[in-house]
Structure 1
């Protein structure tokens, strides 16, 4: 039985952000049409080493692919000269049940996570939005910026914020134009990358905010957010995580990737537990907006929020695309 396999280097050569944006949007639409199944997430915290692993899985009937990915985040690996974030993805054919591909999960996860934030922002932000703030300067944040600049050509200013160490944003912002070129072949020479020294002030200037931290307490206050702002809250993907003031969610129009996951383990989790909102306050799935079944933003003054905990469905659809476009490559085929 022949199975395609791709390591991270091979995926970096083959995957383009514009294509991943299209795949992510398609999966969200399929999910809103009831063509997908999300299976329960398995999570384990290695508390003695500050590490976590999770297993996410699902079945996409629209693309006829199912499978799972196992991800691990071990921050101390950097001191060992090892990747702090790693994982394996297995994609199976939904028609035959045979394996389609085995591949590195970390790069696909990074690409589709950036794409998810950008697809939602494009759908919910005001059309004239041109100022982005990204909260967090870890490696994943570069994918958020790359996806946003690919999806929304009118962004001309990017505020780069590192809440744990404001000074760290200076070299990060300075390196962004080169990183955008190297990682995404993006010419960002006309984009201004500004390191944040005053978070409250920068939040107040932003039209779009993307959060991608490991915070367990709110970093962005309700009072800082101006009318008409869109927030894509991506970092809160496990129980107990929280990046923004729950009062923001109370006052916002909210769309999610999956209602159950977000209420149990997303940005919405602690807002619901704290009494700031109920499950019924969620307007729907982002795919409903993309399909035109729901309006999404209905006025220029609304605050909109997209809460995403992450769906293996996105990874599996991207994996299927890689296999279909490159599966005939004998250098990337193994016999099981």
Structure 2
């Protein structure tokens, strides 16, 4: 059995390869059982997620530990591992660093959604959240929206993290700015990507301008919310998988409050991916792509790691 550490996993999941693999893989036949959630403490903050998926060639399962309070210890909130096996025999093929796989498939899936739904002339991108996931967002979106001229970075829970990420991007030549005023930044953005573990909305409905596209990455439980549910009521809503209907706090609340119905979900990602032409959108239309993460995206990423070769190291 092969082992791929975080660095090897990252090298084999460059976004120019991963995002097309996700798009083609989303339409292939696969079995994706519901993700299993297990609360590990009385406060229901620590969570174990078990995410299996398989097709004719491969079988995989990801184990994810989510400990939000790790931020207080200076540690990542997520820790995970992925086991890939042969579909015909169950023989284990690879153990893959789940943290980097999750990180890259998460932002890769969101960027894929943005490539299919956001305006092609988008120029300003706002990233909200600067943790393990948020720090990877810029590179994924650069692979699909090369016309972005300004990257705004905000983190209401960690303003210094926003400044640090903006500095790091600027050192690479990106026009990146830490946004201290989140409301003003949201009003300027053409694309907004949220990647927090917020339980209360970090973005208000009134802040979002017509024509904006939002990718909501963070919430994966009914008690988690990154935007006010009322925003969904005036948006065209897309989801990565039907599981989002019961797992994403924004959707669960929207259904309960009556601002959204099941019929208001315009499409899932597998329904969007086969399109050969860009989806038409009105100038004032707000689009929302809600992703909770799926075992299928994990399987696609894991297979990409397994079958790829390491690119040559830069000198």
TM-score (norm 2): 0.89
- Alpha-carbon distance, 1:95 to partner: 3.4
**C-alpha distance in 1 between matches for 2:21 and 2:179:** 33
- Alpha-carbon distance, 1:235 to partner: 0.4
1:265 and 2:232 matched: no
1:146 and 2:139 matched: yes
Aligned to 2:237: 254
**C-alpha distance in 2 between matches for 1:129 and 1:165:** 27
Aligned to 1:129: 122
SS of match in other structure, 2:34: strand
The farther-off stretch of 133-142 and 167-176 is 167-176
1:53 and 2:48 matched: yes
- Alpha-carbon distance, 1:111 to partner: 0.6
Deviation track 1:40-96 (CA, whole Å, cap 9, x = no partner) reads 2111233358422211112245xx322210011235556778654221111222334
2:12–2:308 Cα contact (<8 Å) kept? no
The farther-off stretch of 239-248 and 21-30 is 21-30
- Alpha-carbon distance, 1:201 to partner: 1.0
SS of match in other structure, 1:71: strand
- Alpha-carbon distance, 1:227 to partner: 0.9
**C-alpha distance in 2 between matches for 1:41 and 1:13:** 27
SS of match in other structure, 2:35: strand
1:37 and 2:31 matched: yes
1:26 and 2:34 matched: no
Deviation track 1:203-262 (CA, whole Å, cap 9, x = no partner) reads 011000111001112221111111111001110112211111111111111111112x11
The alignment yields a C-alpha RMSD, in angstroms, of 2.3
Aligned to 1:332: none
2:51–2:295 Cα contact (<8 Å) kept? yes
SS of match in other structure, 1:300: coil
Aligned to 2:7: 9
**C-alpha distance in 2 between matches for 1:7 and 1:252:** 40
1:290 and 2:284 matched: no
User: Gaps spanning 5+ residues in structure 1: where?
Assistant: 179-187, 328-336
**C-alpha distance in 2 between matches for 1:168 and 1:297:** 37
Count of residues in correspondence between the two structures: 308
- Alpha-carbon distance, 1:176 to partner: 2.1
Aligned to 2:313: none
